[in-house]
Amino acid sequence: MDTALALKDKTIAITGASGSMGRALVTELSKRGAKLIALTTSPDASFALSDQNIEVLPWQLGKEADLRDRLQNIDILILNHGVNVLGSRDSASIYKSYEVNTFSVFRWIDLFLETLTEAKDVASKEIWVNTSEAEVNPALSPLYELSKRAIGDLVTLRRLDHLCIIRKLILGPFKSELNPYGVMSASFVAWAIAILAEIGFRDIIVTINPITFIAYPIKELSRSLYFRIFSRPT
């Protein structure tokens, strides 16, 4: 737990903004008074809300650094983009899964951390990473699980340095193009994320699976202790 978070007037950028969860987060966070920037790889994506205009910034996989300067004025970066190759296990699917779900996300994290040039930035700026409950539970998609667990562990590793607040979004199955097995609605999940973030949770778990509420904290504590013992900051 952290101190309560006020979302009003925060400038929030969301990757994967044109997907089901991205659009749900844009809608929910705008209701709470945030200023939204949609980061999307879909060139034709558009967003329309009655109470505000959404700035849309296109980006390309592998060229995250092109938007480095725009991150300077962002308070919260939500890393929500991802890919699910379902049952595929060929080499192309392996590279794609790790490039999108792991390495691209980690590049965004590094770019955002480079903007923390003053003490006030460390105290006020945040990163939220959608790692999903695939960190600890089957997702009926092996490469999705493997790549999400990888970024989950990397986030746990980076959080040890306390460079800024990094929240994890551990989300259960919701209806989307990535997850045909989803049972929750994206709008409900986005509402729950906002509520739990405002309360101050660093690890935001939204799922119908009670096992996650037990398995994830155990996993996170054990991995954090392991990383703390056998790694060091440079």
Beta bridge partners, 184, equal 174
Q: How is residue 71 written in tokens?
A: 């991150």
144 counts as catalytic = yes
> Which listed residue (98, 144, 181, 216) is catalytic?
144
Q: Cα-Cα-Cα-Cα dihedral of 234, 62, 20, 5, to 10°?
A: 30
Neighbouring CB atoms inside 10 A of 1's CB total 8
Q: Output the CA–CA distances (angstroms, integers) from residue 162 to 61, 74, 113, in the order listed.
A: 27, 19, 11
Which of 84, 71, 82 shows the shortest CA–CA distance to 37?
71
Residue with tokens 């006030």: 120
Neighbouring CB atoms inside 10 A of 227's CB total 17
Q: What distance in Å separates the CA atoms of residue 44 and residue 24, rounded to the nearest whole number?
A: 18
Q: How many CA atoms lie within 13 A of 17 on its CB side?
A: 29
Active-site residues: which are they? 144
